[in-house]
Amino acid sequence: MSPSKPADGQPRGYIIPIGGAEKVQEPAILKRFVRLCGGRHARIAIVPTASLMSDTGSVYEELFDELGAGSAQAFALEERADGSDAETLRKLERATGVFFTGGNQLRLSTHLGGTPVAKTIRILNARGVHVAGTSAGAAFLSEHMIAFGDEGASPRVGSVTLSAGLGLTNRVIIDQHFRQRDRLGRLLTALAYNPFAVGLGLDEDTAAFIAPDETVEVVGSGAVTIVDPSDVEFSSMDQSAKGEPVCLLGIRMHILVQGATFNLHTRVADPGSVAVAKG
């Protein structure tokens, strides 16, 4: 389930994990998403599957409507069978953006994983359609998804359970409500299993806009914590017992705020417009 290959010469769409609780009064993140998807020409498909509340889909339909999206439609997708529905697939094909709501990310992976709907969204993103998700919806976007885990600042063996996600990218592992729920430890634990991916810890009301060129741009009122394990010199993950803290040496970390960027390919952080504002 590696990411779908972009069509020749065609950049993939943005991948946009949001840390949850994106502000409705001053919705900078959702506004930018709508603009990216075409503004008045945007056709946004909403997937409320993570949520157990029956009105989540319609709440976002109204919200995107108020933000000037051409159209916004929620697809119930409550059973696995819905993931093969021909009418849904036909409508999805026309979307310029896909939005996953919050809730429980395991509902997303168990209900949609491996269905034609999931496959279609992967192909759409490869073709240039933008895909955003908030909270549980954010966690689901990447190849390796944090299914659930403990909270607390130090990494401990067994403190996190990974699962296969939607797989739009395998370069990041995403955690959300980051500052608000103290999740550095579980993100470090997830990375310690295999220090291949970069950890993105998203504060609430904060999004990482991952551009087609692999540049992460921050939008929102909080911070994105980048945890880059590429220089990790030592990890005791393979020898520690369950519940024991993990020894992990040589982590690189950046705290990005709105305007700053990080390139997932070169692994270089840049203050961007934060430094310009300083001048």
Q: Which residues are catalytic?
A: 135, 177, 204
Of 39 and 245, nearer to a copy of itself (C-beta) is 245
Contacts of 272 (CB under 8 A, 6+ apart): 217, 259, 260, 261
Site string for a copy of itself, 125-144 (x = CB under 8 A): --------------------
| Tokens coding 156 | 């401990």
In the complex, the smallest distance separating the C-beta of residue 239 from a copy of itself, rounded to whole angstroms, is: 5
User: Which listed residue (25, 86, 87, 278) binds a copy of itself by CB under 8 A?
Assistant: 278
Using the rule CB under 8 A, is 20 a contact of a copy of itself? no
Using the rule CB under 8 A, is 153 a contact of a copy of itself? yes
Using the rule CB under 8 A, is 10 a contact of a copy of itself? no
Of 70 and 271, nearer to a copy of itself (C-beta) is 271
Q: How far apart are CA 95 and CA 73, in angstroms?
A: 10
Q: Which of residues 244-263 bind a copy of itself (CB under 8 A)?
A: 244-257, 259-260
The closest of 173, 182, 189, 164 to 242, measured between CA atoms, is 189
C-alpha distances (whole Å) from 164 to each of 83, 100, 170, 171, 180 are 17, 16, 10, 13, 25
**End-to-end CA gap in the chain:** 45
Q: How far apart are CA 218 and CA 124, in angstroms?
A: 23
CB neighbour class for 279 (10 Å; exposed up to 12, middle 13-18, buried from 19): exposed
In the complex, the smallest distance separating the C-beta of residue 130 from a copy of itself, rounded to whole angstroms, is: 25
What is the phi/psi pair of residue 79, to 5°? -115, 160
C-alpha distances (whole Å) from 36 to each of 33, 41, 43, 69, 97 are 5, 10, 11, 10, 8
Q: Which of residues 166-205 bind a copy of itself (CB under 8 A)?
A: 178-180, 182-185, 188, 201, 203
Of 71 and 180, nearer to a copy of itself (C-beta) is 180
Using the rule CB under 8 A, is 155 a contact of a copy of itself? yes
In the complex, the smallest distance separating the C-beta of residue 267 from a copy of itself, rounded to whole angstroms, is: 11
Q: How far apart are CA 35 and CA 38, in angstroms?
A: 5
Q: Quick one: which segment of 56-64, 66-74, 88-96, 232-240 binds a copy of itself (CB under 8 A)?
A: 232-240
Using alpha carbons only, give the angle 233, 235, 241 rounded to the nearest 5 degrees: 170
Using the rule CB under 8 A, is 81 a contact of a copy of itself? no
| Tokens coding 62 | 């109204």
Query: Taking the mean position of all CA atoms in its chain, how far away is CA 29?
Result: 13
Of 124 and 251, nearer to a copy of itself (C-beta) is 251
In the complex, the smallest distance separating the C-beta of residue 53 from a copy of itself, rounded to whole angstroms, is: 27
In the complex, the smallest distance separating the C-beta of residue 262 from a copy of itself, rounded to whole angstroms, is: 9
Q: How many residues bind a copy of itself (CB under 8 A)?
A: 48
Cβ atoms 46, 57 nearer than 8 A: yes
Q: Which positions touch a copy of itself (CB under 8 A)?
A: 151-155, 178-180, 182-185, 188, 201, 203, 221-223, 225, 233-234, 236, 238-240, 244-257, 259-260, 269-271, 274-275, 277-278
